Amino acid sequence: MERYSILPHMETVFDREARRMPAPAEGREVVLVWQREARAKLWELLSLNRFEPCAPNPVRLSSETRDGYRVERMEMETEPNVRMPFYVLIPDGASPSDRRATFIVPHGHGGASERTIAPDGERDVMALSLVKRGYLVFAPDARGSGDRREFMDAGDDRKKSCSHGPLNNLAIALGYSVCGMEVWDLMRLADYALSRPDADGRLGAGGFSGGGQQTLFFAACDERVAFAEVGGWFYGFKESLLLLPHNCACNFVPNLWRFLDCGDLGALIAPRPLFIESGENDHLNGNVGRIQNVYSQVAIARNAYAALDAEKKLRHSVHEGGHEWRALDFYDFLSQSFPATI
């Protein structure tokens, strides 16, 4: 039976209407002006000005000592009556007055913060590696994930399932998006993290897959993020999302593609240090161009870094594997760009 797909038509629409606010390729002042305007547009697209701020009211739920660090389970309020659970990982020997860099590590798609801080590492190992290197690490549950899943997913594996589909349905009907909710929560977590007496005022963020996605949007929106790492989530929206529309709903933001592509989000982070890791055979790179689809987006960001005389602050590491985090060159770049203590 013949199928009557509209994907070819939507591809034509994308080609006609997408990326109305492209990052300029050169000119320091031109890039700075574009960043102000594009960041304001991104805030508008994510509806960040519509969220309702509130006092965080943090509560410590438990504490556990492990080999080399302490894990505290906490929760806080990001909007009135919206509670977010998260973990704080504190290096051994750190006192309340021992100030160090703060690092937020969002978890991946269909995951939870428990996977991020699991002793066996499971898939996301960045948080444990960072605390053992002396960073003060925060690992939150994203909305619709872990203990924040909605009722329709409450019976599934809490470490692997999520409610992003139904959550994005109700969000877009009210002018919001899951992505915007995630960014808002990370911004509020940053407020709390930076207010602690053991934080020195410097903020980093990084994650793999969906954690990389959250980090990219977070760092593009919030200039307090002084170091960003994006693993397994940096590619052209057309090839990796429009042509693969079955990907997680948290990837889709109303009207985003009409104004910005992934490389433009990276350009919004310039000149702050940005580490991008890609797998040559990552299926999320898309079926068209594969790694070339990644290189073309990195080039957009790289042009902005060059215009701001910050070429060395963007590092793109490519391994031969698939959708996986290998951290090749990452910790050397991190220690040079964003040490745990100063």
The tokens of 238 are what?
């057309």
| Cα atoms in the Cβ-side hemisphere of radius 13 Å centred on 246 | 2
Q: What local confidence, expressed as pLDDT, does residue 122 receive?
A: 47
User: What pLDDT digit, counting tens, does each position of 107-152 carry?
Assistant: 988 777 877 787 764 445 789 999 999 999 999 999 988 888 777 7
pTM above threshold 0.75 = yes
Instruction: Give the alpha-carbon dihedral of 332, 336, 338, 340, to 10 degrees.
Output: 80
Q: How confident is the model at residue 205 (pLDDT cuts 50, 70, 90)?
A: very high
Residue 309 to residues 88, 181, 193: CA-CA distances in angstroms? 35, 33, 30
Q: How far apart are the C-alpha atoms of 306 and 136, rounded to whole Å?
A: 31
User: What pLDDT digit, counting tens, does each position of 4-43 carry?
Assistant: 999 999 999 999 999 999 999 999 999 999 999 999 999 9
Best CA proximity match to 271, nearest among 316, 232, 301: 301
Q: What local confidence, expressed as pLDDT, does residue 153 receive?
A: 65
Mean per-residue pLDDT, 287-309? 94
Residue with tokens 């919004």: 268
User: What pLDDT digit, counting tens, does each position of 226-262 carry?
Assistant: 999 999 999 999 999 999 999 998 999 999 999 999 9
Mean per-residue pLDDT, 329-334? 96
Q: What local confidence, expressed as pLDDT, does residue 147 receive?
A: 85
Q: What local confidence, expressed as pLDDT, does residue 80 receive?
A: 97
